[in-house]
Amino acid sequence: MAPAAASSSALLPAGTFSTARPVAGRPAGQRLPTRVAAASRTTTARSPAACLSVGGRRRGAEAVRASAGGAPAASLPAALLFDCDGVLVDTEKDGHRISFNETFAERELGVSWDVELYGELLKIGGGKERMTAYFSKMGWPAKAPKTDDERKEFIASLHKRKTELFMALIEKKLLPLRPGVQRLIDEALGKGVKVAVCSTSNEKAVSAIVSCLLGPDRAEKITIFAGDVVPRKKPDPAIYLLAATTLGVDPSSCVVVEDSTIGLAAAKAAGMKCIVTKSGYILDSFPPPFSKTSYRRLRGRGAATAIPSFKKIKCRGAQLIQIHLQGAYLMDPRKYTAEEDFATADAVFDCIGDPPEVRFDLEFCANLLQKQFVS
């Protein structure tokens, strides 16, 4: 019997597919970086180091340049490495997810991934791996084969069709580049900095994004590392280490632009500087906090506590486990929060940004390699 379509709150608790904290893969003796707290949010509540200009505060990139205090210009990065989905284009919610669901519908599998569920599945690197993990957890469709080898072929065929549907969306240019992507790439290429895209997505899909949205001239100058080019996907650092080796650059001279915790973990494990630009999924994962009084009361009740029916809840030292139970959710104070997911990033922004709201530029990346800046 085919599994019914399900929401993540009912079937897939947050953390089911969670990865280890990024610091777990750090080589022994390597010092943790000081975070450049240049994050900004789309909500009215902003961090003290928000990258947008508020109340006379300088933008994040300007503040970092000013902190250099007239020192000689920093050397440019040897390479600028971009993730694809969520960094170049906000593809996940209205691109990949839609294409997966259309594929499932064509095959009459009785499966549909809603927005919240797909957000949890993004903690798994790679589309084929994502489907395999989901079906292994929730049950394989009735139309799926029974042996492991046949299931691998089944997953591969689903992923091939999903990629075709996704590429059709890209070719129609229904998903635009994120703000600042083209500007930063042009700046890097113009100054001789090598540019690459490192993604767990299918290579054809990534190539289509680069070629269709950045144009063939830029595409010729951008190296793509994607799909099954490495045996282990993010959060494993293999794809970033392969990029450094192929481009002939030292990992420590590279700056990575990522949007996810698994991508950040991969970049840091490779020994590279990493800037996080929060994608639509990440921005949506920061709900309004509830009161400290409520939090203290919950903390006093133990590790798993039923609370009133909030859609999402955020508090320091705890992460919502999204298990719907009689109009309530469960709170586990032992989990770390979404706020802490990017604690090892060298900088965090809401996007790269175009004028007049540029969040960071190539000079910012160069300064990042020389010194850790704080707000």
Q: Which amino acid is at 258?
A: E
Angstrom CA distances, 311 to 92, 112, 217, 320, stand at: 21, 21, 46, 10
3-class SS at 320?
strand
For 94, which DSSP code?
Answer: I
Q: Which of 261, 282, 222 is nearest to 43 (CA)?
A: 282
Positions marked active-site: 83, 85
For 58, which DSSP code?
Answer: P
Strands 194-199 and 79-82: parallel
Angstrom CA distances, 7 to 10, 79, 101, 199, 313, stand at: 6, 40, 13, 27, 18
Structure tokens at 361: 């530029």
**Residue burial 43-71, b: 16+ Cβ < 10 Å; e: rest:** eeebeebbbbeeeebebbbbbbbeebeee
**Residue burial 318-353, b: 16+ Cβ < 10 Å; e: rest:** bbbebbeeeeebbbbbebebbbebbbbbbbbbbbbb
Is 240 exposed, middle or buried, given 0-12, 13-18 or 19+ CB atoms closer than 10 A? buried
- With residue 168 as reference, give the H or E element that holds it: helix 148-171
For the packed helices 362-370 and 60-67, what is the interaxial angle rounded to 10 degrees? 40
3-class SS at 164?
helix
| 251 touches 270 (CB < 8 A) | yes
Q: What's the N-to-C CA distance of the chain in angstroms?
A: 56
